[in-house]
């Protein structure tokens, strides 16, 4: 049920992001989604890729610090209020979103949202009760 | 310019040296009897105080180092019982433990006398108002200058450091005529004054006494131009007495007269430890010959400079030391605070969150020294939580301030990005042009 995201520490230096994507390209890794959170000095790049192990090995070889985080990938319907359907029940039961980012599902019109929750197990439970589709890691890699 | 103690400060060399020898012998007899460290060291070296029969014999005595003071922390180097100690000061050391120094009533009077002499040399009289921007506290700068100004009979304004805008208002309203402080802070203050639209030409200063950190001839020119005063350099360290060990005279502003009736100064080769002739640069070494509570014999300062015996037009016969040009260790002086890379390292190690791969970068921005501590992130300390990483930076910065008393910005950097030369990390990048 859970998906694994890799995160990379990068300093805010010109061209650093492009270096990361070039390393992944050379390792034949496909990036599904990406989000960059940054401060004045540094940023954390979060990635969903088709092959975590290959990506991690390639980045570490180039001296990057790579972390792994459990996230939930949720399909959000392409209609008004689609995101609220997901967030409202979670919010009611005090599950908080630490961060989220989205990408389009290449197989249909829906969007896939990547969520990091403060309580991932509770979030999973609530989403299951509400019949909201959570995409597992394997399916995500295969998209 | 009047000389505060004309008899001692202009004494012919022969007389001065006779006094030095007598005072040295008395000090040695006393510390041999009262300070176990000196007795043990001299016994081991096979030397007795009575063996010192001339000033030249001084070179036979072992040196005293900062490590020796640290080994005897806090009070074991005191040569008098605590009943006679009236003041304690401290300066930072490499391991976080400070070096503690004590003063008797007479030591405080001696120090005030030396600071009064220093202020006179800078052109101050009892008619002057002294703006003292050195910090008051464990640091010897503030109180040292304060007592000296009172001894001189001048009016002292105990402003201490910080609150720059208020300092400028005081300068406008109280009309001080002598300015004391660390040179980098005073340059910063001049810039703030400029922003406030205050011109030093409309203020009342005639001289500035600057010290507690190394500064250059270029900075002197800048200080004199911006602050519209004559800038003189003062030198001292708490282990020897505090500020007032030596000072430039306002007549020549060329080298600092060492008060030789209280201190014997030597310059030694830092490798062979052999005394060097006048003019040759080496490590500055002091022996105090009048202090009661905390005498030091051949104390190695780690400051690099040379001595100049040329007679001075001001009339003082005391030898001059040139401005120190560097250090034999990696100590940094940031806004008057001594900082050793090893102190930062121990703070980083204590948190256990970060690898001890770090670098100190010192800059002078708007004439104020700034310290950035770059710390390499590693897998154990990394998380994808930005707030957590920022909190880590803030905590390290707080801990550094807490342990060292100096503000530092902590910046996390990528692994292996700190420059290593021959496998050894380069710990300090000092971008200040000194
Ligand atoms: Zn002179």
Mean pLDDT score of chain B, rounded to an integer? 91
The C-alpha angle B140, B156, B243, rounded to 5 degrees, equals: 25
**Which residue has tokens 């040295």?**
B24
pLDDT of the residue at B420: 64
Q: Tell the CATH topology of B6-329.
A: Rossmann fold (3.40.50)
- Shortest CB distance from B384 goes to which of A39, A42, A67? A67
Where does the pLDDT of residue B110 fall: very low under 50, low under 70, confident under 90, or very high at 90 and above? very high
Please report the ipTM that was assigned to this predicted complex.
0.82
- Shortest CB distance from B379 goes to which of A5, A65, A116? A65
> Which of A65, A97, A98, A118 should we substitute to test contact with B (largest number of B Cβ atoms within 10 Å)?
A65
Chain A hits for B417, Cβ within 8 Å: 11
pLDDT of the residue at B350: 76
| CATH architecture, domain defined by B333-430 | 2-Layer Sandwich (3.30)
Tokens of A118: 């403060």
Strand partners, B129: B155
CB B381 within 8 Å of CB B404: no
CB A113 within 8 Å of CB A101: yes
pLDDT of the residue at B425: 64
B57 burial type by CB count under 10 A (0-12 exposed, 13-18 middle, 19+ buried): middle
**Which residue has tokens 């005595």?**
B61
Q: Closest approach of chain A CAs to the CA of B380, in angstroms?
A: 9
**Interchain pair B414, A10: CB under 8 A:** yes
Ligand 1 centroid – CA B426 distance (Å): 41
Calculate mean pLDDT across residues B170-180: 98
Could you tell me the CA-to-CA distances from B364 to B213, B276, B369 in Å, in that order? 13, 34, 4
- Shortest CB distance from A65 goes to which of B385, B390, B414? B414
Q: Is A37 an 8 Å CB contact of chain B?
A: yes
A44 phi and psi angles, rounded to 5 deg: -120, 120
Is the C-alpha dihedral spanning B280, B281, B285, B286 positive or negative?
Answer: positive
Domain boundaries, chain B: 6-329, 333-430
Calculate mean pLDDT across residues B138-165: 95
Enter the pTM of the model.
0.72
CB B289 within 8 Å of CB B27: yes
What CA–CA distance (Å, rounded) separates A41 from B21?
A: 59
Calculate mean pLDDT across residues B134-142: 93
In chain A, list all ranges with CATH 3.30.2130.10: 3-70, 71-135
Chain B hits for A10, Cβ within 8 Å: 414
Tokens of B229: 């005063």
Q: Which CATH superfamily is domain A3-70 in?
A: VC0802-like (3.30.2130.10)
Among B263-277, B289-303, B351-365, the range scoring the smallest mean pLDDT is B351-365
Which chain A residue is nearest to residue B372, measuring alpha carbons?
Answer: A41
**Interchain pair B415, A65: CB under 8 A:** yes
Closest CA to B182 of B121, B124, B235, B108: B235
Chain A hits for B382, Cβ within 8 Å: 7, 9, 65, 67
Could you tell me the CA-to-CA distances from B267 to B69, B79, B255 in Å, in that order? 20, 26, 15
Strand partners, A88: none
Cβ-Cβ pairs closer than 8 A, A with B, add up to 50
Q: Is A39 an 8 Å CB contact of chain B?
A: yes
Q: The domain A71-135: what is its CATH number? A: 3.30.2130.10
pLDDT higher for A107 or B429?
B429
Strand partners, B264: B287
B220-245, pLDDT tens digit by residue? 998 999 999 999 999 999 999 999 99
**Interchain pair A11, B413: CB under 8 A:** yes
pLDDT of the residue at B330: 78
CB B94 within 8 Å of CB B340: yes
**Interchain pair B389, A37: CB under 8 A:** no
B377-400, pLDDT tens digit by residue? 888 788 888 888 999 899 999 999
pLDDT higher for B409 or B92?
B409
Chain A hits for B414, Cβ within 8 Å: 9-11, 63-65
Closest CA to B200 of B210, B209, B190, B208: B190
Closest CA to B393 of B406, B405, B375: B375
Which chain A residue is nearest to residue B393, measuring alpha carbons?
Answer: A41
pLDDT over 60 at B423, yes or no: no
pLDDT of the residue at A79: 84
Closest CA to B79 of B40, B36, B108: B36
Which chain B residue is nearest to residue A39, measuring alpha carbons?
Answer: B386
- Shortest CB distance from A44 goes to which of B384, B411, B415? B384
Is the C-alpha dihedral spanning B249, B261, B100, B109 positive or negative?
Answer: negative
What CA–CA distance (Å, rounded) separates B219 from A95?
A: 59
Q: Is A41 an 8 Å CB contact of chain B?
A: yes
Residues 6+ apart with CB under 8 A from A130: A85, A89
């Amino acid at each position: 049920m859970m998906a694994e995201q890799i995160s990379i520490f990068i300093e805010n230096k010109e061209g650093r992001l492009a270096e990361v994507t070039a390393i992944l390209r050379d390792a034949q890794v496909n990036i599904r989604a990406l989000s960059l959170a940054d401060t004045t000095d540094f940023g954390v790049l979060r990635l969903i890729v088709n092959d975590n192990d290959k990506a991690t090995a390639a980045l570490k070889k180039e001296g990057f610090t790579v972390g792994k985080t459990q996230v939930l990938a949720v399909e959000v319907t392409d209609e008004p209020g689609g995101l609220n359907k997901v967030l409202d029940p979670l919010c009611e039961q005090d599950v908080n979103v630490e961060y989220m980012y989205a990408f389009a599902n290449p197989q249909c019109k829906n969007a896939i949202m990547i969520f990091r929750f403060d309580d991932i197990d509770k979030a999973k439970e609530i989403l299951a009760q509400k019949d909201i589709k959570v995409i597992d890691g394997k399916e995500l890699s295969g998209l | 310019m009047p000389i505060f103690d004309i008899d001692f400060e202009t004494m012919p060399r022969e007389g001065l040296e006779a006094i030095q020898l007598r005072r040295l012998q008395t000090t040695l007899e006393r510390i041999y009897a009262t300070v176990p460290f000196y007795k043990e060291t001299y016994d081991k070296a096979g030397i007795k105080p009575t063996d010192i029969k001339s000033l030249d014999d001084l070179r036979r005595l072992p040196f005293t180092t900062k490590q020796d003071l640290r080994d005897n922390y806090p009070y074991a180097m005191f040569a008098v019982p605590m009943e006679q100690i009236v003041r304690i000061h401290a300066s930072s050391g490499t391991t976080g433990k400070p070096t503690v120094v004590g003063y008797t009533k007479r030591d405080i009077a001696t120090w005030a006398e030396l600071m009064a002499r220093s202020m006179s040399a800078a052109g101050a009289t009892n008619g002057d108002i002294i703006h003292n921007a050195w910090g008051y506290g464990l640091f010897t700068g503030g109180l040292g200058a304060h007592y000296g100004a009172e001894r001189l009979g001048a009016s002292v304004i105990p402003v201490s450091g910080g609150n720059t805008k208020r300092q400028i208002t005081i300068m406008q309203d109280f009309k001080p005529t002598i300015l004391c402080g660390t040179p980098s802070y005073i340059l910063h203050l001049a810039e703030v004054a400029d922003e406030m639209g205050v011109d030093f030409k409309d203020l009342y200063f005639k001289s500035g006494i600057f010290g507690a950190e190394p500064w250059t001839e270029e900075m002197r020119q800048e200080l004199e131009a911006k602050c519209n005063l004559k800038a003189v350099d003062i030198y001292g360290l708490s282990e020897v007495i505090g500020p007032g060990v030596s000072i430039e005279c306002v007549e020549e502003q060329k080298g600092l007269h060492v008060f030789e009736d209280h201190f014997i100064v030597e310059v030694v080769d830092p490798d062979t430890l052999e005394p060097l002739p006048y003019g040759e640069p080496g490590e500055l070494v002091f022996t105090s010959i009048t202090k009661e509570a905390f005498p030091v014999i051949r104390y190695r300062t780690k400051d690099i400079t040379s001595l100049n015996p040329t007679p001075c037009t001001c009339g003082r016969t005391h030898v001059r030391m040139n401005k120190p040009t560097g250090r034999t260790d990696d100590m940094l002086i940031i806004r008057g605070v001594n900082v050793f890379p090893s102190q930062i390292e121990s703070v980083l190690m204590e948190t256990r969150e970060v690898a001890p791969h770090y670098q100190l970068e010192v800059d002078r921005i708007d004439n104020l020294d700034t310290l950035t501590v770059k710390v390499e992130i590693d897998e154990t300390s990394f998380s994808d939580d930005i707030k957590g990483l920022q909190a880590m930076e803030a905590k390290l910065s707080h801990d550094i301030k807490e342990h060292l008393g100096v503000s530092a910005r902590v910046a996390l950097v990528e692994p292996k990005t700190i420059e290593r030369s021959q496998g050894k990390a380069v710990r300090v990048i000092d971008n200040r042009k000194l």
